Amino acid sequence: MNTQINLRMPDELLEQSRQYADKHGFGNVQELIKESLREKLFDKPIISKEELFLVKKLVELSKNNNLFGTEEELFKKLKRK
C-alpha cells in the first residue's frame, strides 16, 4: 500500500529539483525525493543514478525502435544463456 503525501517547498528549490532530476535521469521530482529518502534511510540506493539513467535510455531506444514485443517474448529472451 502506498500513502500519498503533500510537500510544500519554495519555488526556487522546486525548480532546482526539477533540473537536477532531469539532468540525473530521474523521471520527475517525486522519484528524486523517494530515492533521496531511500539513501538516507538505508545508506545504499537500490539502483544507482547511473544505472537509472542507463535503464531510461534503454527504454527510450526500445520505444523509438519498436523493440518491445509481448511479455512472453521478453521473458523468453531473458531466459536465454
pTM of the model: 0.54
For the stretch 15-70, pLDDT in tens is 999 999 998 888 899 999 998 988 888 877 677 778 888 888 887 888 788 776 77
Q: Where are the domains of the chain?
A: 11-79
Residue-level pLDDT at 41: 86
- 35-47 core/surface letters (b: 16 or more CB in 10 A; e: else): beeeeeeeeeeee
Instruction: Report whether pLDDT(11) > 90.
Output: yes
Residue-level pLDDT at 48: 77
Residue-level pLDDT at 49: 76
With beta carbons less than 8 A apart as the criterion, state whether 15 and 5 touch: no
Residue-level pLDDT at 78: 67
